[in-house]
């Protein structure tokens, strides 16, 4: 079978260069080997690459990911990760982490996150080019200094700041990278052979010459000189269907089953306080119970995957029971009236009990809205043990996290239908005054979403998937996870686990990259373009991103990615900083926006390490009055107002 990775004919025609037929003379055609010979000493680089894809006419992109049995790094015990779920993909992440390596490199003059604009300027040492349009994609780069790196062997990490377009092919070019002595680093032998037309006896090189003529043609059209190129490669981004298709399929099936009335439910407890005068100073009634949701995973519990039919698509697999919590504020009891309904999303591997945080009840009572919550199935406390076990035994089964998160999206959306459906007329959701007729306290025409941390991260996917919620606030969020995790103090224990699993610490950073390809279907990354630029169901969502400078758990760099993807603006007269690609406007503003708080904390760190936890502001934005005022005004009107008097600092 021939396995040429052929570029479109028009690209080959425009290179102005032909390949000497003698170059590959005598080289036997075969399947490409598991390791790309363009790397210096690490099997899987550069990554992601067409080298790890194969043609597939049944795929939306025309390709499938193809990792060999030994492409992914092995553990201390010699175990290779399962490639089944990766090899189902038809492309790589829209926010893919690009990895390359040059021995003893330094990044003098290489654009970082503080000077992103330089990546599209003439002379940039790296480019990401849309092959179809020839347009450079803004990006930034850094050296990997995480996980006990070995000096001189650090990975070069390049990150796009906008989601790359689904199904499109991109060319990456790198030049002028120098070593610690100031000398330009020579290309690897494998890449130099492709670049310079040097004959080899290696089919992994000879079988790609036509494809590489197209790659060099793209770079030359951008003004590059072939001889200066130290490394180049191309890759395809996963299709819209490939990334969002399973989630939308299970969501649509669930909607067809529960309808507008919502799923059947049972109230198991109503708590109006010990003496019937209210649960606490802010909340009068706590209602808890369970509802029945359709199930789309193989098992009804942690460590499972989506069901798959003969076409690889998930199907209904019975039902599951989902606990819920509703908090009804005192103002609903004292002055009964229909109130807006807020769905809350909890933090990392937590549960719905986070809704009992005092500030949420105070906000509900002050502004007048009812709060409800369920657990993030897939990323709740019950999932922790199975996630740790997977990481220790076979990280190739990482797909269990995003696939069980699909079930979590279904349960969240079903809970929202319950709250705007039959629950509206439930006796538990009504109060009477002086013996009069009970007044319902749920207003189904005003359904909002608010999530913090993981609730903000996963909320970036859930909102895009749920046409019932047109407006939401994402607190201290970010995307993609491949950016967030290395800069998060929360992930330190997981890194420690992985360091005990893999002998080469660079393997962990490589995992960060291919992990994102699987995580996209259950992460804000895969849905960033579909929040409002190209909404999945024609419902453009308004989003307010509230982040925190100095956040040691979710870096604000990830929130800025969200802002750019959502077309958000900064509504402030005293910005902490200019955010690349984000317009600054005066208050008020109607539309999506980002607000950055705590400007008097240390600057965003440039290294891929967590900032000093001493200054961690992760929990503070949600408890800051100006942020709460902004949140309520936005959710109730769609208008973003800057309530800070000067810089948005704690005082």
pLDDT tens-digit readout, 614-640: 778 999 999 999 999 999 999 999 999
Give the torsion through C-alpha atoms of 271, 275, 276, 281, to 10 deg.
-80
pLDDT band (50, 70, 90) for residue 651? low
466, part of any domain: yes
CA distances 590 to 196, 341, 561, 579, 586, Å, are 55, 21, 20, 19, 11
Residues 190 and 282 placed together within one structural domain of the fold:
no
What pLDDT is recorded for position 27?
A: 85
What's the mean pLDDT in 277-300? 98
Q: If phi over 0 gives left and psi between -120 and 50 gives alpha, with beta otherwise, what is residue 62?
A: left
Summarize pLDDT for 394-419 with one digit per residue, the tens: 999 999 999 999 999 999 999 999 99
What pLDDT is recorded for position 164?
A: 98
- With CA atoms as reference, report the closest residue to 166 among 83, 88, 235, 84: 235
CB-CB contact of 460 with 524 (8 Å): yes
Residues 223 and 245 placed together within one structural domain of the fold:
no
Total domains present in the chain: 2
What's the mean pLDDT in 29-55? 95
What's the mean pLDDT in 3-31? 47
- With CA atoms as reference, report the closest residue to 558 among 188, 95, 4: 95
Cα 594-600-604 angle, rounded to 5 deg = 65
Residues 381 and 436 placed together within one structural domain of the fold:
yes
What pLDDT is recorded for position 574?
A: 65
648, part of any domain: no
Residues 543 and 560 placed together within one structural domain of the fold:
yes
Residues 312 and 394 placed together within one structural domain of the fold:
yes
Cα 217-219-225 angle, rounded to 5 deg = 100
Strand positions, DSSP E, 300-429: 319-329, 339-345, 370-373
Residue 552, token pair as written in the block: 């040691």
Summarize pLDDT for 177-211 with one digit per residue, the tens: 999 999 999 999 999 999 999 999 999 999 999 99
What pLDDT is recorded for position 648?
A: 78
Residues 127 and 39 placed together within one structural domain of the fold:
yes
CB-CB contact of 36 with 45 (8 Å): yes
257, part of any domain: yes
CA distances 252 to 295, 374, 409, Å, are 13, 20, 11
Residue 221 has pLDDT above 70, yes or no: yes
Least confident of 54-68, 450-464, 575-589: 575-589
CA distances 451 to 19, 318, 373, 472, 543, Å, are 56, 29, 10, 8, 12
Least confident of 28-37, 166-175, 449-458, 466-475: 28-37
CB-CB contact of 296 with 252 (8 Å): no
What pLDDT is recorded for position 575?
A: 66
What is the share, in percent, of the chain residues with pLDDT greater than 70? 95
CA distances 120 to 136, 169, 567, Å, are 6, 18, 20
How many Å apart are CA 425 and CA 296, to the nearest integer?
Answer: 29
CB-CB contact of 640 with 587 (8 Å): yes
514, part of any domain: no
What pLDDT is recorded for position 3?
A: 32
Strands 593-597 and 542-548: parallel
What pLDDT is recorded for position 368?
A: 98
335, part of any domain: yes
315: domain CATH number is 3.40.50.1820
Higher pLDDT, 644 or 330: 330
pLDDT band (50, 70, 90) for residue 612? confident
135: domain CATH number is 2.60.40.1220
Residues 245 and 98 placed together within one structural domain of the fold:
no
Containing structural domain, residue 459: 241-487+521-640
pLDDT band (50, 70, 90) for residue 513? very high
Residues 149 and 218 placed together within one structural domain of the fold:
yes
What's the mean pLDDT in 306-317? 96
2, part of any domain: no
Where among 238, 254, 271 does a domain terminate?
A: 238
Strands 319-329 and 370-373: antiparallel
**The tokens 């992990």 sit on which residue?**
515
Residues 231 and 255 placed together within one structural domain of the fold:
no
Residue 360 has pLDDT above 80, yes or no: yes
pLDDT band (50, 70, 90) for residue 572? confident
Residue 19 has pLDDT above 80, yes or no: no
493, part of any domain: no
Residues 252 and 224 placed together within one structural domain of the fold:
no
Residue 79 has pLDDT above 90, yes or no: no
What pLDDT is recorded for position 25?
A: 54
Where among 238, 263, 295 does a domain terminate?
A: 238
Residues 264 and 157 placed together within one structural domain of the fold:
no
Mean pLDDT (the chain) is: 92
Taking residue 253's Cβ as centre, other Cβ atoms within 10 Å add up to 16
Where among 210, 238, 266 does a domain terminate?
A: 238
Residue 539 has pLDDT above 60, yes or no: yes
Residues 570 and 458 placed together within one structural domain of the fold:
yes
451, part of any domain: yes
What pLDDT is recorded for position 433?
A: 86
> Which helix (H) or strand (E) segment is 546 a member of?
strand 542-548
Q: What is the secondary structure of 502-545 as a DSSP string? A: -SSTHHHHHHHHHHHHHHGGGSHHHHGGGTTTS-TTS-PPEEEE
What's the mean pLDDT in 15-37? 66
How many Å apart are CA 18 and CA 10, to the nearest integer?
Answer: 14
């Amino acid at each position: 079978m021939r396995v040429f990775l052929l570029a479109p004919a028009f690209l080959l025609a425009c290179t102005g260069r032909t390949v000497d037929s003698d170059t590959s003379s005598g080289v036997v055609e075969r399947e490409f080997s598991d390791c790309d010979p363009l790397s210096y000493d690490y099997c899987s680089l550069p990554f992601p690459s067409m080298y790890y894809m194969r043609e597939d006419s049944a795929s939306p992109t025309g390709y499938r990911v193809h990792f060999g049995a030994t492409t992914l790094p092995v553990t201390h015990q010699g175990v290779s990760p399962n490639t089944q779920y990766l090899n189902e993909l038809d492309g790589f992440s829209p926010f893919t982490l690009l990895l390359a390596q040059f021995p003893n490199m330094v990044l003098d003059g290489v654009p970082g996150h503080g000077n992103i604009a330089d990546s599209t300027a003439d002379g940039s040492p790296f480019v990401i080019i849309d092959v179809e349009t020839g347009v450079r994609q803004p990006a930034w780069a850094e050296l990997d200094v995480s996980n006990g790196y070995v000096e001189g062997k650090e990975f070069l990490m390049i990150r796009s700041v906008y989601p790359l377009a689904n199904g499109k092919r991109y060319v990456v070019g790198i030049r002028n990278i120098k070593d610690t002595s100031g000398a330009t680093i020579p290309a690897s032998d494998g890449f130099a052979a492709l670049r310079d037309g040097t004959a080899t006896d290696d089919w992994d090189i000879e079988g790609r010459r036509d494809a590489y003529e197209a790659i060099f043609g793209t770079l030359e059209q951008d003004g590059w000189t072939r001889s200066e190129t130290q490394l180049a490669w191309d890759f395809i981004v996963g299709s819209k269907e490939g990334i969002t298709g399973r989630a939308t399929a299970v969501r649509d099936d669930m909607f067809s089953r529960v309808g507008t009335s919502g799923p059947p439910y049972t109230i198991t407890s109503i708590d109006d306080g010990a003496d019937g005068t209210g649960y606490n100073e802010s909340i009068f009634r706590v209602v808890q119970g369970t509802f029945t949701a359709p199930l789309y995973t193989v098992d009804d519990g942690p460590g499972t995957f989506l069901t798959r039919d003969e076409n690889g698509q998930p199907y209904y697999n019975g039902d599951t029971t989902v606990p819920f919590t509703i908090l009804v504020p005192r103002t609903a009891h004292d002055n009964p009236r229909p109130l807006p309904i807020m769905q809350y999303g909890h933090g990392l591997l937590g549960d719905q009990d986070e809704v009992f945080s005092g500030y949420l009840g105070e906000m509900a009572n002050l502004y007048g809205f009812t709060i409800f919550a369920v657990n993030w199935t897939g990323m709740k406390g019950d999932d922790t043990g199975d996630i740790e076990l997977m990481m220790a035994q076979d990280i190739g089964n990482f797909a269990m996290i995003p696939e069980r998160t699909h079930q979590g999206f279904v349960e969240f959306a079903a809970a929202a239908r319950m709250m705007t459906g039959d629950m509206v007329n439930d006796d538990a959701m009504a109060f009477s005054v002086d013996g009069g007729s009970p007044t319902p306290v749920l207003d189904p025409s005003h359904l909002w979403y608010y999530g913090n941390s993981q609730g903000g991260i996963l909320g970036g996917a859930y909102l895009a998937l749920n046409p019932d919620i047109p407006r939401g606030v994402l607190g201290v969020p970010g995307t993609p996870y491949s950016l967030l995790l290395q800069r998060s103090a929360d992930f330190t224990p997981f890194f420690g686990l992985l360091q005990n699993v893999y002998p080469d610490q660079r393997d962990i950073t490589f995992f960060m990259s291919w992990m994102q390809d699987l995580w996209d279907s259950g992460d804000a990354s895969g849905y960033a373009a579909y929040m409002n630029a190209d909404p999945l169901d024609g419902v453009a969502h308004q989003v307010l991103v509230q982040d925190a400078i100095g956040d040691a758990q979710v870096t604000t760099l990830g929130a800025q990615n969200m802002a750019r993807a959502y077309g958000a603006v900064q509504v402030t007269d005293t910005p902490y900083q200019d955010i690349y690609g984000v317009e600054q406007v005066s208050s008020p503003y109607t539309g999506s926006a980002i607000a950055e708080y705590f400007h008097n904390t240390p600057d965003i760190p440039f290294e891929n390490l967590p900032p000093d936890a001493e200054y961690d502001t992760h929990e503070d934005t949600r408890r800051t009055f100006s942020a709460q005022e902004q949140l309520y005004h936005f959710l109730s009107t769609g208008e973003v107002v800057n309530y800070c008097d000067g810089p948005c600092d704690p005082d």
